[in-house]
Amino acid sequence: MSKYQSYKETVLQYSQRLSQNRYTVGTGGNISLLIEGENAIAITPTAMDYFGIHVDDICIVDFDMNILEGKLKPSIETKMHIEVYKNRLDVNAIIHTHQVYASIFALINEPIPALFDEVTLNTGHIIDVIPYALSGSQQLSQNIVNQLNNRCNCYFIQNHGALSLGMSIENAYRNVELLEKISRTYYYALASGRPITKLPDAVVARLCKNLHERQDQEIARKKAGQAYRLN
């Protein structure tokens, strides 16, 4: 059995859950999971229906884009995932979706401000829009990297879809759900034509401080583990 078996099983499980709950359609979207202690990820294969693949079809790819395991070609967005892991050390799981209500804001190029406590506590002070670039391109990876320093966990990708990050796959999937909740409610609020209230700045600052502390703890844990391995 592969030493990556548990990672591949988890990626497959959440990929199928993503389709079952209609956060993506057909072969759209992708999921990856960082391999603990390695510069490598488990990621879904490209252009495959999630209910038509087996656990052994999940790809293991290192940060140099070498395929360590897997018979199929990894997602076209693999480089994008790797760049996120390189630039956000708090992130251990990434889910890219084409979910419907989030995709509306990807089309109208409209960020969503802090509106709900539970969303802001998990995703950050804004859901911003990453500028468009062709799927799988170096430019798209760079556009995403340019936005990551806001320390948020959800983003819209212009004319494409959405990106949700997490310290675990459970966190990332929860952020997918929170993203769809806030996208849907904000869409209907805008349609009402009524004024929309936002969270007070002081509350947003306090919630984000909590989020950033958790991120910093994860970064410190990883760095401590890396130092231990080097010694």
How many domains does the chain fold into? 1
Indicate which CATH number applies to the domain containing 72. 3.40.225.10
Which residues does residue 61 pair with via DSSP β-bridges, in sequence order? 41, 67
CA distance 54 to 28: 17
Instruction: Report the DSSP pairing between strands 40-43 and 59-62.
Output: antiparallel
Q: In angstroms, how far is the first alpha carbon of the chain from the final one? A: 29
pLDDT tens-place string over residues 201-218: 999 999 999 999 999 999
Q: Is 196 exposed, middle or buried (0-12, 13-18, 19+ CB in 10 A)?
A: exposed
Among candidate residues 77, 136, 83, 129, the one with its CA nearest the CA of residue 103: 129
Q: By residue range, what is the domain housing residue 159?
A: 5-230
pLDDT tens-place string over residues 127-156: 999 999 999 999 999 999 999 999 999 999
pLDDT tens-place string over residues 67-117: 999 989 999 999 999 999 999 999 999 999 999 999 999 999 999 999 999
For CA atoms 95, 100, 101, 106, give the dihedral sign: positive
pTM over cut 0.85: yes
